Amino acid sequence: MTNRIFIGQRPVGPVGQPAPAQPQKSQTTPSPGTFQKLLDQALTQPVKLSGHAQERLNASRRPLSEAEMKELASAVDRAAQKGARDALILMRDRDLALVVSVKNRTVITAVDGDRVKENIFTNIDSAVIL
């Protein structure tokens, strides 16, 4: 028995011996360029087509080629760098307009041919012309 008064935690172990050292938490610092690597990975994700956009492209009987998908991904990357949220991407050589959610990297809808000229595009905050 001890005749000491303890406030708070009572020491573990015999009185008079130092308390065991607590393991130190390791300080991990991210390596230089980690943020840039993560940003680059996020920006190089492929662009997806929504069901509606896929239906529209199938109806036009001209699906996007691999090269056009890369061009589209590049356009989405540029729009993201400028802070765009929802963009209209006009592919002039194809007579094709795509409304894209830049954040989700998803084509929401596609409009082709003469309907491009007749349409009004709403809920967009930017446009990219290819």
- Return per-residue pLDDT of the chain as tens, 130 residues: 567 666 666 656 666 666 666 666 656 666 767 887 777 766 667 899 999 999 999 998 888 999 999 999 999 999 999 999 999 999 988 889 999 999 999 999 999 888 888 889 999 999 999 9
d(CA 108, CA 53): 6
The CA–CA distances, whole Å, from 8 to 11, 15, 78, 94 equal: 9, 16, 59, 75
pTM over 0.75: no
